[in-house]
Structure 1
């Protein structure tokens, strides 16, 4: 049987109703690996569920992997399925680093795509798809999936028993993808960890357990609660303040898409700078909101300072200055005339002057 036939047969077996996944022991074939990959992702991530429907098909030309909205996983034959099939041709035999890197890149793609299917209990693909269309959603979700997959790949390989099949695969390294998104995601999530006093990487892990529907709300909630805003903002104004923070961050991340056509290193540099700008804007928005809702401070009574105290002591006991005596009026008769405002009010009371005038 040719390699092409082996892959086709493996997918046919996996997608057939008669396939039974052997849960005992690590996978020992391509169909077993594909059947077990989602369960291992749930175990590593701590997510409640996966939207994967159990089917894997070959991806179209030029596409490495796709987590389709209908729950089907699409994988490229040459870059993903063939290296995974080759894993089980000589299990336990040390392969050249080039072959190990190729397998590692294939497996991180599988984990990345499966990350898109992960979500909290009750999450739906329809809601995730609608949220994915909103500004800043795609850069965030792709960046989170890639950053998390790279960080937790070795744990994933351990769950699947890959190190026993391909010794040394945990030691080699492969270049990460999505460099237009990943650096900015790392800057933002690290900053949120710092604000909330969380262990490094906790916000990234939490985001990976969400679909596109819940990722930006989670970020805004973390930033909001880590500030003084919960103690300052009235309940009826809180949704507007949260929306302002979310809009600011979404707009910052929406601009990351323009870096996708740049060379990898340049894209990473620009993404990193954009990430720091987004954090700076978030800080400014929070500070502005805190200033707006800060209650006015009562004026404190003036106390003698070190400079005025000696003067006060020197003048103590002296009578305050009195106003000079006023000279007698030159025209005493004029004092008999009542002031204009008083005369006006008296005339009104007597009915002499009309208020309409």
Structure 2
């Protein structure tokens, strides 16, 4: 595979390398790399029309320096961290550019402008970039250029979005048998409008529904599951309003876990729908009807592949009660993720947005 031995090669390979390590269908990158407005508190932007932009001082200059110092060993830790942050930001923006078959930029933009859509797009993009920066470095051959870059400290943004995405993926990964990293990959490598469909497909295809629901009804069932998860997932966005960082993290994880469980609740609803007898079969009398009722009793009912209790909808008001409730959500939080403040600028999805911007901590 092509390696980046110069700054120009790095820019040329940034999107193809992201496609190769992820297995995504394609990238919508249009081949253009431009500069962000230096007045904006962002490290990078991914525009809906396919252009990526980076802050020149914080992102592009460290990569130029990396190639000027090519193969220099024993560089100081701060320098290596600046290189790694730049490469991880580059991966983040190029994960935004990954798309599934039939991806529609207009639908993606519309979905991004919803609370659940933005939380999923930013959360899974950042989580996947965190998980795959080392693979990206290897794919581009950058450990040879900057020895020690893979061991440099990690840089993470979008703490609440990442926590919610991680809890969502862990719940589905555990219950489906796919594993959380595979769930993250499937969701991160499609556009905003396809993310919940990808999650719903993972839930549906690993359940008993494919043997119960007709093949021509699969798409409708997957969409039904996807829609069922969005309301709870939108609460991740609201978690940012909680002042205490620990409660904020727990609230985001609670919302992510609740959204995944809502998808599994919908599996039970669909199973019940397709397990009901046809109307004519219900009009039975005498011994046949009595026998049918006997056979349908709980003691004779066959076991199903899903044996979980229905999840109680989660609301996330601020305060201690929220934290106590949120702490029941399951998987341990990612302790390395931190809330982005004014001094730790991130990156954002560029282009026209109808939703109001919240400030540096939610920009990318």
TM-score above 0.5 = yes
* 1:82-105 deviation digits (Å, cap 9, x = unpaired): 211211221122211111112211
**Alignment of structure 1 residues 276-287 onto 2, 5 Å:** 276-287=257-268
Q: How many residue pairs get matched?
A: 279
Shift, 1:237, TM fit: 7.8
CA distance in 2, matches of 1:37, 1:271: 31
Rg (Cα) greater in structure:
1
Matched, 1:247 2:242: no
Shift, 1:134, TM fit: 4.2
**Alignment of structure 1 residues 149-164 onto 2, 5 Å:** 149-164=129-144
Instruction: Quote the residue 2:157 is aligned against.
Output: 177
CA distance in 2, matches of 1:290, 1:24: 48
Distance 1:237-1:182 versus aligned 2 partners, 3 A rule: same
* 2:3–2:139 Cα contact (<8 Å) kept: no
Instruction: Quote the residue 1:299 is aligned against.
Output: 294
Shift, 1:146, TM fit: 0.8
Instruction: Quote the residue 1:66 is aligned against.
Output: 45
**Alignment of structure 1 residues 29-178 onto 2, 5 Å:** 29=7, 31-60=8-37, 61-93=40-72, 94-178=74-158
CA distance in 2, matches of 1:79, 1:290: 52
Instruction: Quote the residue 1:26 is aligned against.
Output: 4
Q: CA RMSD in A?
A: 2.8
3-state DSSP class of the match of 2:42? coil
* 1:27–1:36 Cα contact (<8 Å) kept: no
* 1:260-305 deviation digits (Å, cap 9, x = unpaired): 4657655433212222222333333433443455447641599xxx
Instruction: Quote the residue 2:176 is aligned against.
Output: 196
Name structure 2 gaps, 5 residues minimum.
278-291, 298-364
Distance 1:164-1:192 versus aligned 2 partners, 3 A rule: same
**Alignment of structure 1 residues 338-357 onto 2, 5 Å:** none
CA distance in 1, matches of 2:56, 2:148: 23
* 1:51–1:125 Cα contact (<8 Å) kept: no
Q: Structure 2 length normalisation: TM-score?
A: 0.68
* 1:1-26 deviation digits (Å, cap 9, x = unpaired): xxxxxxxxxxxxxxxxxxxxxx9643
* 1:180–1:271 Cα contact (<8 Å) kept: yes
* 2:15–2:94 Cα contact (<8 Å) kept: yes
CA distance in 2, matches of 1:63, 1:197: 37
Distance 1:155-1:282 versus aligned 2 partners, 3 A rule: same
Instruction: Quote the residue 1:272 is aligned against.
Output: 253
Shift, 1:69, TM fit: 1.0
Q: Structure 1 length normalisation: TM-score?
A: 0.69
